[in-house]
Chains A and B, each alone.
Chain A
Amino acid sequence: MTRHMTGAQIVIQALKDQGVDTIFGYPGGAVLPIYDELFQQNDIRHILVRHEQAATHAAEGYARSTGKPGCVIVTSGPGATNAVTGLTDALMDSIPMVVLSGQVPTFMIGNDAFQEADTVGITRPCTKHNWLVKDTADLATTIHQAFHVATHGRPGPVLVDIPKDVQFATAAYLPPEKARVSHYQPKTKADPEAILAAVEAIERAERPVFYTGGGIVNSGTAACAALRDLVGATGFPITSTLMGLGAYPASGEAWIGMLGMHGSYEANWAMHDCDVMICLGARFDDRITGRTDAFSPHSYRIHVDIDPSSINKNIHVHVPIVADVGSAIEDILALWRERGARTNAGPVQKWWKQIALWREKDCFGFRRSDQVIKPQYALQRLEALTKGHDRYITTEVGQHQMWAAQYLGFEEPNRWMTSGGLGTMGYGFPASIGVQIAHPESLVINVAGEASWLMNMQEMGTATQFRLPVKQFILNNERLGMVRQWQELLHGERYSASWSESLPDFVKLAESFGWKGIRCDSPADLDAAIREMIEHPGPVLFDCLVEKHENCFPMIPSGKAHNEMLLGEDATQGAIGAAGAVLV
């Protein structure tokens, strides 16, 4: 028997049937009927944020740390436009997210009504797909399809725009199993010929490297387990992008560190000199490749990606494999074992010796100080003191983000939430809220810079209201550190608008929201202060005053190749040429 409901009831029922337990949002005129239904039920918990952008980042943090899609509700007009940054962020980092937006009534669309915006038009390029629902009879099916599209193939954000009259009108509710199945069914199983080519390359490789990315984390824990099997069985070195950290444990024997612009010296040289590159769920982003015409010039490249448009987009590959990366790794492993589990052990051992030589450069070394806290030292201590904990890390964007990636070790997937593709300052704090909601008992730390953190600081109220003990670990250099670094290297040390003036007193700010505030400016006091932060049962704002002019190294300057990486000491003006200066 079909049940008739109002549009608002259909929304809530569809969310329940899709397994949604938490929704991040902010009410407004065009979503009042939905909020009225939210009020009258207890299965879905609504988290009231202080700005819609934070709702989207919190949903990203929730999604990234659980593997489930994040869910957001915003009102029409400004509610929807405020969600655009989070939608774009999720699109770039392939995070499954469903955003429901209110819209003015259908008969007013196009009239420049109060709080009207062309939401589907604005969000078309920053969603995987979006819908404007003009008939309540289509509402249930559309929401079910939205979840299907967000979570199938390459995950991504979707948006369903629901006019207010559609929320009031009644129609029959269609449960997910009765809803029309979308034709959207991306291919997930690899071609056997491509798997064979990959296995043959693994068997004959002399200088192999696994280059892995966020796709493995997105594929799930089975993919991470399969990756660990494959790396363990072959003994090949493995590096990862920023997004893929934790898929393979940082303590693993084959781990050679993150690659890319601020990756490890050994990982980048291994990428440059390898003869077989096995790219699993990564997309040859420009932060990874550096100068593309000098990228890994002698390698035979295998690329597994669920999105065919990622293949040959930036870098030509020899063996394209369109598949779910977990399934492809399992296929590779099975065929390789069936053929005798052979590797070219002698040359691979020699390759490891070469990697050990690169490692001797100690690229993450830094000049220590007992006067001021070096940001690297702060993260080393944070790592040492939180390592044994059930820990989740989020970050903002900038130098602190790169240092966090360099100095914190991730043993498990879904423990590291950062804005990679879009590089959204202001991501980390709301993301930490989303993570803490999903993991109330865990230690959730947002490693932040003071400038990024201020971009979404209004969320302090959210953390207080929902009793979320998030730890905000701010490396405060009173600078926009990464901007300052580029101005030093590229723009003649003219520091245009790159310092943080008029900062708040973070301790007082914390106390005004009922948080604990900790300030630390001495290396000698740092351990005790970090312990105090961890042990405090509520939210903590940790103002860690660090060296103001520290640069983030190693670094591949723009327009340079992997083997032209700068270690700290080499950094001088003129390292980046005129051609590199136009790049971001």
Chain B
Amino acid sequence: MNALHIKKGASSHSAYDLRNPLGDQRETHTLCVLVDNEAGVLARVIGLFSGRGYNIESLTVAETDHLGHRSRITIVTTGTPAVIEQIKAQLSRLVPVHQVNDLTVEGPAVSRELALIKVAGTGERRVEAMRLAEVFRAKVVDTTLESFVFELTGAPTKVDAFIELMRPLGVVEVARTGVAAIARGGFAPD
């Protein structure tokens, strides 16, 4: 989603000339947001990002605690450090948001994404696609005589690399779930 690209030198949420005093190096952060599982909560989060001109690289959401009525939203976003801090503060003040954790700075975390990649081809290209899929530990979940659908789980960079390798071999379609992420270790962050 590059439509919301933040111009260098302008702050993310304003048309005005508000230069960031803390440097303008853009960083990518993975945020985990625990919310009440109620109508409109996703619209609130997305509306916040579009309304204030923040960037969304990836967003996933699903109910994770049925009894507690909670959903978990994982957002990968980019921005200068000041913008990232603003995003966290803005998310935190939404009424149905219980907790915001920045998995990029709060210690080690794992990020995973699932992708389905349809590759069409015959002969040597088909064999090569199969060989690369084995290297990446991708599973074949559907096949015809001229195509495969591979299922691949991994860090987003691994999925990117696999798709790039497959492209010359005949990628027809790609579906990606977006990133789910969780902190390493035996505790939930507070």
Contact = CB atoms under 8 A, between A and B. Distances in A.
Contacts of B18: 286, 292, 314
Give the most central of B14, B17, B47, B92: most A CB within 10 Å.
B17
Interface string A237-269: 000000000000000000000000000000000
Give the most central of B18, B22, B39, B51: most A CB within 10 Å.
B18
B93 A307 contact: yes
Contact of A128 (B82, B86, B95): B95
A316 B51 contact: no
B167 interface: no
B187 interface: no
A255 B43 CA distance: 45
A111 interface: no
Contact of B89 (A293, A309, A314): A309
Given A124-B47, A314-B11, A579-B17, A309 B22 contact: no
B17 A149 contact: no
Contact of A583 (B17, B51, B94): B17
A447 B161 CA distance: 65
Contacts of A121: 40, 43
Give the most central of B40, B47, B92: most A CB within 10 Å.
B40
Interface in B45-85: 47, 51, 82, 85
A381 interface: no
Contact of B93 (A183, A308, A559, A583): A308
A308 B92 contact: yes
Given A125-B51, A149-B95, A579-B17, A313 B43 contact: no
Contacts of A307: 93
B16 A124 contact: no
Contact of A124 (B14, B44, B86, B92): B44
B137 interface: no
B93 A286 contact: no
A149 B93 CA distance: 11
A153 B93 CA distance: 10
B40 A316 contact: no
A328 B5 CA distance: 38
B107 interface: no
A149 B94 CA distance: 11
A316 B21 contact: yes
B131 interface: no
B90 interface: yes
A307 B13 CA distance: 17
A312 B82 contact: yes
A468 B96 CA distance: 41
Interface string A176-188: 0000001110100
A308 B85 CA distance: 10
Contact of A286 (B14, B92, B94): B14
A63 B18 CA distance: 32
Interface in A557-584: 559, 579, 583-584
A129 interface: yes
B184 interface: no
A309 B43 CA distance: 20
Nearest to A314: B18
Given A132-B39, A286-B18, A182 B90 contact: no
Contacts of A125: 47, 51
A308 B18 CA distance: 19
Size bin of chain A's contact surface: 20 to 34
Nearest to A311: B89
Contacts of B16: 286, 583-584
Contacts of A314: 11, 14, 18
Interface string A148-184: 0100011000000000000000000000000000111
Contacts of A286: 14, 16, 18
Contacts of B94: 129
A210 B31 CA distance: 36
A292 B17 contact: yes
A123 to B, nearest CB: 11
Interface string A112-142: 0000000011001100110010000000000
A391 interface: no
A579 B16 CA distance: 10
Contacts of B89: 308-309, 311, 313
Contacts of B19: 292-293
Contacts of B51: 125
B98 interface: yes
Given A309-B86, A309-B89, A559-B17, A124 B95 contact: no
A291 interface: yes
A140 B11 CA distance: 41
A154 B90 CA distance: 13
Interface string B14-50: 1011110110000000000000000110011001000
Contacts of B39: 132
Contacts of B17: 291-292, 559, 579, 583
A146 to B, nearest CB: 10
Contact of B95 (A182, A292, A559): A182
A101 to B, nearest CB: 15
B80 to A, nearest CB: 11
Contacts of B44: 124
Contacts of A292: 17-19
Instruction: In the A-B complex, list the 8 residue pairs whose CB atoms are closest, starting with the nearest.
Output: A309-B89, A129-B95, A308-B89, A316-B21, A293-B19, A292-B18, A309-B90, A184-B95
Given A129-B96, A293-B19, A583-B17, 19 more contacts: A120-B40, A124-B43, A124-B44, A124-B47, A125-B47, A132-B39, A132-B40, A149-B95, A186-B93, A292-B18, A292-B19, A307-B93, A308-B92, A309-B92, A311-B89, A312-B82, A313-B89, A314-B18, A559-B17
Interface of A: 120-121, 124-125, 128-129, 132, 149, 153-154, 182-184, 186, 286, 291-293, 307-309, 311-314, 316, 559, 579, 583-584
19 contacts: A124-B43, A125-B47, A128-B95, A132-B40, A182-B95, A183-B98, A186-B93, A286-B16, A286-B18, A292-B17, A293-B21, A307-B93, A308-B89, A309-B89, A309-B92, A312-B82, A312-B85, A312-B86, A313-B86
